[in-house]
Amino acid sequence: MFCRTAFLASNCIFTLVWSAPLAAEDADRQTIALDPIIVTTARREEEALLETPVAVTTVDGAEIGPAAVDTLQRAVERAPNTLFNDQGGPISIRGVTSAGISGGVDRQPAVGLFLDGVYIARPQGYPTFLEDIERVEIVRGSQSTLYGKNTIGGAINLLTRDPGPEPGGEFVIGGTDEPGYNARLSYQSPVSEDFALRGTVSKRYADGYIDNSATGNSVGDTDYLAAQAVLQGTLATGTRLRLSADYTRDDSDGGLWFAPVDEALDFEAEHDLDPDQELRIGGVALRLDHDFGAVALTSITAWRGHDLDFFLDGDFTASPDLIQGQTERQRQFSQEFRLSSTGDRTVDWRLGAYYLYEDFEAAQFFDFASIPRDLLSRSTFDQINYSVAVYGLADWQVAPDWTVSGGLRYTYDRKSTESEISSPSGTFFFGAPGAVDEDVSFQDVSPELTVSWQPGAQALVYAKLASGFKSGGISPYIEADGSANEYDPEKTDSAEIGYRYGSPDGRFSLSANAFYIRWRDQQVTIFTTPVTRVYRNAARSHSKGAELEVTAELAEGITLTGGYGYTDAQFDEFVDPILGADFSGNPLPFAPKNSLFLGLRWERPLSNRRTLRAALDYTYRGSYSFTPDNLFRQGETNIVDARISIEGEGWKATLFGKNLTDERYLTNYFAFFGEDTGVAAPGRTIGGELSMTF
C-alpha cells in the first residue's frame, strides 16, 4: 500500500504539472535558486539552517492556512520521526513522549511547545488552529541549554507574523464539503513613526463527520473563534519592544466520540449524551531586546492560561448509563532573561535565567448519568508549580573550520500538590475515597556538548552529546494504602551525528543524522482497574534511528521536499509492579518505525500577471501502539493532500483536497472495560478558498 500510494501520488502531480496550460506570454526560462531556510529560535538566534548543528524541520508561512497546514498535527506530519494528534494525544519525537489520554489531567509534555518564545505548560493550552503564523519549527532531540524551559524530547516553535511598515491587510474566506466555512481578517498599520500594529480575527465552523446513531446527529463538529494582536517597534536607540496578545474561544464538541474500533473507522458512534465543551485560551507576552554593543539582552515576560469545561457520554453507548467529564483552570507566569555576546569572536557565549510559576486546578468525573453533576464521583488535582533554571552555552572556534560548543543547565522544580478521590454520590467510581497533600522538589544538572566541522562554505558535519530531564511529581491518583502516588523524574542521555549540505547554486539541500537515546525511569500510567490507575516509572528504554531530509529544485518551477525517519524504540526492562505484566521488549507507544513526507510544488506564470500553482503532499506513518502492553496497534497510514490555485494582483483562488484516498485510521484509542474503542480522523475533505489583499 505504501509504494502503490506513493506511485499514485507522483503520477497525479506530474500529470497536473505537464498538462497545465502554458502562459500566453511565457518569460524566458531561467534558474531560480531556492530561498535559504532561516531558523529563528532553534538555537534562540537567527541563523541559516545550513549553519545550525540541530535536527530541525521548518514549515514556512506560505504552507500554513486552511487549504494546507492548518493545525499543529498537520505541521508535525512534515517532520520525520514525529507523531501527534490534536484529539488529546501527546507529541512524540523519536519515540520520546508522555502520557496520552490515560494520563488523566496531569499530562506534562515531553516535547515543549513555544509560542513566540513562551513555553505553554499544558496541552489543553495549545493553539487549536494555526492562524497568522509566520513559521513553525520542529526541533528534534532534548534541549537543555537553549530554551528557558528544558525539554526532554524536543521543541516546537510557533512564530506569529510581525507587523510590517506599510498599512494593508488580507481577507480569507473558504468552505468545505463537511459542510463548513472559515474566515480570517488581518490588518497592519503604523501607529507612530516607530511602532506598527498587526491584528487578526479568525472564525471556523464545520458540521461533524461522525454519524451518532443514538440521536441521528452529525457529531465531531468545529466551532472556533480566535483573535491576536502584535505591537512592535523601537523604544530608543538599540531597544526593541514586541507586545503580543491572543485569545481563543473553542466551543467544538470535543471530538472524543469513542466507539468500538470497527464502528469508529466507519465514522459511527452511539452516544445518548451530547457532549458539552467550553475551552478558553489566552495570553499576553512582552519582549524587550537591547543591544549594548558588546552584548545583547533579551527579556520575555508572559502570562498565559486556559479554562476547560467538558462533559460527554461515559459508556459510549446509546444506553443512558454513565457520564464522564473534565474541568481545568490553568494560569502561568514566566520570565526569561538572556544575555549573549555579539560580533565575531573566537568565543561566543549565551547566558540565561528562567522562572515559571503555574497554578493548575483540574478534576475528572465519572458516575451514573442520573446523578446530578455536583454529586459525581471525582478525582481532583490542585497543583502549584515553581521552576527555576540558569543555563549557559559557549561556542569556541578552535580552528577556522572547527567549533566546540559546551553548555550546562541547572534546574530546580518544586510542586505542591493536593490530590483527592471523592464520591458525593456514594458510588465510588474512582475507588476508595482519600486525600493527600504533599510537596516534592527535584533538581538536575544537564550538560551538552557539540563539535562542528565546516569542510566548506556549503557543508556542515556535527556530533552532539546531550542530557535531558523531566521532573517527577505527585499524580492525581492515590495508592492503595492511601498514600500519595509519587513518581520520579525521567532522564535521557543521547548521542547524535549529523551532516548538512547546500549546493552553491541554491537548488539542492540535504540534512542527514543518526541518533541513539537511552531513556531512564520513563513515566507511564498503569491501570489498577478499568477506571483507576497510578503513575509508575519504567526501568529502562532506548530509541535509535536516523533521519534524512531533502529539498531540490527539479526543474524550473518544480520543487521537491522530502523527509524520511526510522526509529527503533522499545522498553528494555519494564515489569508492572501491580499486576505483574512484563512489557520488556515491547515497542514504546506513539513510535512508528518508519515515517515519510513527500511534497511536490509547481508553479507557472500565466498571462495578465497571473500565476498557476499546484501542490501534492504524501504522508506515511508506520504502525504504532497506544499503550505499553502493545495489545492494539494503529495500522500504517497513507495520507494524500493536494491543492491548486490561481493568483493575481491582490487575490488568490484555491481548490484543495485533504486525505484524498479517504484513509481510515484512529487518532485516539482507549481500552474501555476490555473493549478496543477509538476515534477516527476525518475522511476525505474537499474545499475552496479565496484570499484578497488590500
Q: Is 193 helix (H, G, I), strand (E, B) or coil?
A: coil
Looking at residue 431, its pLDDT comes to: 86
Specify the pLDDT at position 27: 37
**Residue type at position 525:** T
- Side by side, the strands of the sheet bearing 111-115 are 55-60, 133-140, 154-160, 111-115, 118-120
Q: Given this model, what pLDDT does residue 99 score?
A: 79
The answer on pLDDT for 33 being more than 70 is no
Distances in Å between the Cα of 20 and the Cα atoms of 56, 131, 598, 646 are 34, 31, 21, 12
Q: pLDDT-based confidence at 47, cuts 50/70/90?
A: low
Length of the chain: 694
* pLDDT tens-digit readout, 649-691: 999 999 999 999 999 999 888 888 888 999 999 999 999 999 9
Residue 533's pLDDT is what? 81
Q: Are 662 and 638 in contact (CB under 8 A)?
A: no
The pLDDT value recorded for residue 46 is 58
Mean pLDDT value of segment 14-34: 40
Separation CA 233–CA 594 (nearest Å): 45
pLDDT higher than threshold 50 for residue 15? no
**Which whole number is the average pLDDT over 594-615?**
96
State pLDDT tens for residues 256-301.
889 999 999 999 999 998 788 899 999 999 999 999 999 999 999 9
- Output the 3-class SS for 459-522: EEEEEEEEEEEECCEEEEEECCCCCEEEECCEEEEEEEEEEEEECCCCCEEEEEEEEEEEEEEE
- The pLDDT-based confidence of 25 (bands split at 50, 70, 90) is very low
- Sorted by sequence, the CB contacts under 8 Å of residue 582 that are 6+ apart come out as 574, 575, 576
606: cell is 500565466
pLDDT at 525: 84
Instruction: Provide the CB-side half-sphere exposure for 8 (13 A, CA).
Output: 14
Rg (CA), the chain: 25
- Indicate if the pLDDT at residue 377 is higher than 60: yes
The 10s digit of each residue's pLDDT in 208-217 is 899 999 888 8
Mean pLDDT of 455-462: 92
pLDDT, residue 12, reads 43
- The pair phi, psi for residue 264, each rounded to 5°, is -60, -45
Task: Check: CB of residue 491 under 8 Å from CB of residue 150.
Answer: no
In this prediction, residue 4 carries a pLDDT of 44
For residue 197 the three cell numbers come to 500594529
For residue 26, give every residue at least 6 positions away whose Cβ sits within 8 Å of its Cβ, in sequence order, or none: 605
CB 336 within 8 A of CB 316: no
Residue 347 has a pLDDT of: 92
What does pLDDT average to over the chain?
89
Kindly state the percentage of the chain with pLDDT values over 70: 92
DSSP string, 61-117: GGGBSTTSB-SHHHHHTTSTTEE--TTTPPPEETTB----GGGTT----SEEEEETT
Q: Would the pLDDT of 41 be above 60? A: no
Q: What is the pLDDT of residues 462-514, one digit of tens each?
A: 999 999 999 999 999 888 888 999 999 999 999 999 999 999 988 999 999 99
Share of the chain above pLDDT 90, in %: 73
Chain segment 89-146, per-residue pLDDT in tens: 789 999 999 877 777 788 889 999 999 999 999 999 999 899 999 999 999 999 888 7
Confidence band for 16, pLDDT divided at 50, 70 and 90: very low
Angle at the Cα of 34 from the Cα atoms of 83 and 57, rounded to 5 degrees? 20
pLDDT tier at 332 (50, 70, 90 boundaries)?
A: very high
Residue 29: what pLDDT? 35
pLDDT at residue 245, rounded to an integer? 98
Greater model confidence, 30 or 313: 313
Task: Tell me: pLDDT of 9 over 50.
Answer: no
Integer CA distances (angstroms), 655 to 109, 177, 222, 541, 688, in order: 36, 12, 21, 45, 4
Q: What is the mean pLDDT of residues 348-353?
A: 94
What pLDDT sits at residue 35?
56
Q: Which three cell numbers stand for residue 521?
A: 525511569
User: Which residue would you say has higher pLDDT here, 28 or 147?
Assistant: 147
Residue range 548-580, pLDDT digits in tens: 999 999 999 999 999 999 999 999 999 887 778
Asked if residue 302 lies in contact with residue 283, where contact means CB atoms within 8 angstroms, the answer is yes
Nearest alpha-carbon partner for 269 in 319, 209, 214, 321:
214
- Give the model's pLDDT for residue 36: 55
φ/ψ (deg, to 5) at 76: -65, -30
Read off the pLDDT band of 44 (50, 70, 90): very low
Predicted confidence band at 345 (pLDDT cuts at 50, 70, 90)? confident
pLDDT tens digits, one per residue of 386-401 = 999 999 999 999 999 9
543 C-beta neighbours (distance < 10 Å), count: 23
Q: What is the DSSP string of 306-331?
A: EEEEEEEESSSSSSS-EEEEEEEEEE
Give the contacts of 236 (CB within 8 A, at least 6 positions apart): none
